[in-house]
Chains A and B, each alone.
Chain A
């Protein structure tokens, strides 16, 4: 596969090449005091010169000293918003001369080009694929949307204060799962992108951008930028044996402590790029001539989510936080063969009270307890 270098000015022809093949280009843009994901009309919509400052429960946009286009960390939106949208109509049913006529929801997806997908988020897409496509049941809506996208990944050279992808092995460099992966090289009068094609399609896009052959120096500069980024992660999570450790400490007092702070508001699950829980809701018209079934984002932090006949399985905030964290860091391994966490740090930044999953894991790690992991797995 080709690896080329193009100038900052090459972004616009790249976007134009994408616009020929896709209905929409989705990428980062500044809105409402954050770098969100939204439709991009041209390279002018990209957050050139912007950055962010991220801490537990705190996010602020600001200006960089340079004009880097991708000089920021993961924002409040995750790509699941476009692949597994918050509100999906599954079907509509109408009464038609005494018969019920069912009509599926949107079956032909929009073709979206995702621009600026971070390595942590690429890892998240891989996890969502396992959840939606590789289990016993395939989600046809996700499948259709997933097959219709193209991916321009951007390796991460500006990790944030809540990032820990390096310790999760998901970044800051993209391994696979992209059509094109860019590394932004900025400074000393230089503003270029090292572009690695990951597919024939990606090579085709690259052909439409004025570029030159990547030299050994270019590759070294990119490697150096990514190595430095790996060293600037605001956080780390020691994932070694973490699943068993959590199963072994289900009654640890740390759960009480976090429950005292947890708002059970659900923000962490909704910003998480891999959390996939939904609820199914039926709507009917006033006259009873039609009805709709919707699938909507839900959260394991909602009490209703654990309702079964007779009551709530997880009535307390303690049980809900524990469910989320043990599922994310332990249960996913058993269920999907991977951690559910990619180290993007969103749940830490966007928790209104700044609960830090790496810190909570550290508390449990510092604990003694009785082995329960075997019991749970058996």
Chain B
């Protein structure tokens, strides 16, 4: 490939738990290859070394929740040739987007002794709401193999392979037995984006939907099946309102289920 210098990698954090950044450090066996292939120019979770932009690749974790975040992401975008969001917070607003369904100022007043110290936006929104994003890595947290695939693909100048189909296809590939069919366990796998390798169903748990909506999710049909399995609408709404609560198909389905749940109450 005749690279003259190593590409500069920066890892940025917004409102998040750091888990996705840690997936990079979790690469263990591959970590030396990573630092051999790229120059880690900014990654406070891993090193105090900090070099100025521009950066060839910025990995962005977390959602935008403050005015300062909006300014910071704009600066990062300008300094980055490629910007890739990592994880459910950065791609869908994260678990903290649950605030979007309520008045955040009520939370602030209830939680903090001095609410006037807190300056926050009404909503937790994904990075792509504010700046153009070149690629999104799903998951809560992301899968380290997907991260390595992203880096390898960008370094080789090829398109990364990230299937957008259901978790079911991964589940069947690994030979797991469908928990919904064989055990009656409610599972979000059929409407959830692949990427995790179907970890939960392989351990006899229903999918929690960490990777958000798949390419063409039929949430209504799955909801009917969950109802037949005995899951009340309010519980269906809760299952959809987790890490990807603000992702449109999950949000709409949860809203519909929540409304149906209210109708049912005496």
- Which of A76, A350, A352 has the most chain B CB atoms inside 10 A of its CB? A352
B159-178 near A? 1/0 per residue, CB < 8 Å: 00101111011001111111
Interface of B, secondary structure class, is helix
B174 cross-chain contacts in A, Cβ below 8 A:
86
List of B residues within 8 angstroms of A301 by Cβ: 165
User: Are the C-beta atoms of A302 and B191 separated by less than 8 Å?
Assistant: no
CB distance from B84 to the nearest CB of A (A): 16
Are A59's CB and B182's CB within 8 A? Answer: yes
A241-269 residues with Cβ-Cβ distance < 8 A to B are 260-267
Asked if A24 is at the interface of the complex by the 8 Å CB criterion, the answer is no
Complex contact B33–A284 (CB within 8 A): no
Residue contact A352 to B163, C-beta cutoff 8 Å = no
Known: A266-B166, A266-B169, A284-B152. A32 touches B182 (CB 8 A): yes
From A261, A266, A288, contact of B221 by CB (8 A): A261
B225 touches A284 (CB 8 A): no
Q: Which residues from chain A contact B166 at a C-beta distance below 8 Å?
A: 263-266
Contact A265 B224 (CB under 8 A): no
Q: B234 → chain A, closest Cβ, in Å?
A: 21
* Choice from A86, A267, A303, A349 contacting B164 with Cβ under 8 Å: A303
Chain A residues positioned under 8 Å from B225 (CB to CB): 57, 352-353
Scan B178-216; emit 1 where CB is below 8 A from any A CB, else 0. 101111100101110000000000001000000000111
How far is A232 from B156 in the complex, measured between Cα atoms in Å?
58
**Interface contact A263-B164, CB-CB below 8 Å:** no
Residues of B with C-beta under 8 A to A287: 33, 36-37
Q: Which of B37, B175, B181 contacts A286 (CB 8 A)?
A: B37
Chain B window 130-173, contacts with chain A (Cβ cutoff 8 Å), 1 for yes, 0 for no: 00000000000000000011011101101001011110110011
A36 near B168 with CB under 8 A, answer no
B9 to chain A, nearest CB (A): 12
Instruction: Check if B221 sits within 8 Å of A262, measured CB to CB.
Output: yes
Q: Choose one: A81, A283, A299, A315; the contact of B165 (CB below 8 Å).
A: A299
Q: Is the CB of A352 within 8 A of B156?
A: no
Least CB distance, A97 to chain B, in whole angstroms? 16
Q: Confirm or deny: B30 has a beta carbon within 8 angstroms of a beta carbon on chain A.
A: yes
What's the nearest-Cβ distance from chain B to residue A317, in Å?
6
Which A residues are CB-close (under 8 A) to B221?
A: 260-263, 353
Contact of A58 among B30, B158, B181, B190 (CB under 8 A): B181
Q: Nearest A residue to B215 by beta-carbon distance?
A: A303
Task: Report the bound CA distance from A81 to B214 in whole Å.
Answer: 25
Report whether A304 and B215 are in contact in the complex, using a CB–CB cutoff of 8 Å: yes
CA distance A270 to B173 in the complex (A): 8
Range of interface residues on B (Cβ < 8 Å): 35 or more
Contacting residues, chain A, for B180 (C-beta < 8 A): 57, 352
At the interface, yes or no: A107 with Cβ under 8 Å from chain B?
Answer: no
Tell me if A317 and B216 are in contact (CB < 8 A).
yes
B177 & A87 in contact (Cβ 8 Å cutoff)? no
- Chain B residue numbers with a CB within 8 Å of A288 are 1, 37, 155-156
User: Within the complex, what minimum Cβ distance (angstroms) separates A268 from chain B?
Assistant: 10
- How distant is B176 from chain A, measured CB to nearest CB, in Å? 7
Tell me if A229 counts as interface (CB < 8 A to partner B): no
Assuming A266-B165, A286-B36, is B182 touching A33 (CB within 8 A)? yes
Among B181, B204, B216, contact of A59 (Cβ-Cβ < 8 Å): B181
Shortest CB distance A345–B (Å) = 12
Q: Scoring B residues 215 to 228 as 1 if CB is less than 8 Å from chain A, else 0, what string do you get?
A: 11110111011000
Q: A262-B218, A284-B153 are contacts. A302–B163 as well, Cβ < 8 Å?
A: yes
A57 to B36, CA, bound (A): 50
Kindly state the separation between the CA atoms of A58 and B178 in the bound complex, as whole angstroms: 10
Q: A286 to B30, Cβ gap below 8 A? A: yes
Whether B34 sits at the interface, judged by CB under 8 Å, is: yes
A171 CB to nearest B CB, Å: 22
Say yes or no: is A282 at the interface (Cβ < 8 Å to chain B).
yes
Contact of A31 among B172, B177, B178 (CB under 8 A): B177
Nearest chain-A residue to B185 (Cβ)? A33
| A45 interface contact, C-beta 8 A | no
The reply to whether B161 and A281 form a contact with Cβ atoms under 8 Å apart is yes
What CA separation (Å) do A88 and B138 show in the bound complex?
Answer: 25
Q: For residue B218, which residue of chain A has the nearest CB? A: A263
Residues of A315-334 at the interface with B, using a CB-CB cut-off of 8 Å, are 315-317
**Those 8 A-B pairs whose CB atoms lie nearest each other, nearest first:** A270-B172, A265-B190, A302-B165, A86-B173, A265-B166, A263-B190, A32-B177, A265-B168
B contact residues vs A (CB 8 Å cutoff): 1, 30, 33-34, 36-37, 148-149, 151-153, 155-156, 158, 161, 163-166, 168-169, 172-178, 180-184, 187, 189-191, 204, 214-218, 220-222, 224-225
Interface positions of A (Cβ within 8 A of B): 31-34, 36, 57-61, 76-77, 81, 86-87, 260-267, 270-271, 281-288, 291, 296-299, 301-304, 315-317, 349-353
10 other A-B residue contacts (CB within 8 Å) besides A302-B164, A350-B178? A32-B204, A33-B177, A61-B182, A86-B172, A87-B173, A263-B166, A266-B166, A284-B152, A284-B156, A287-B33
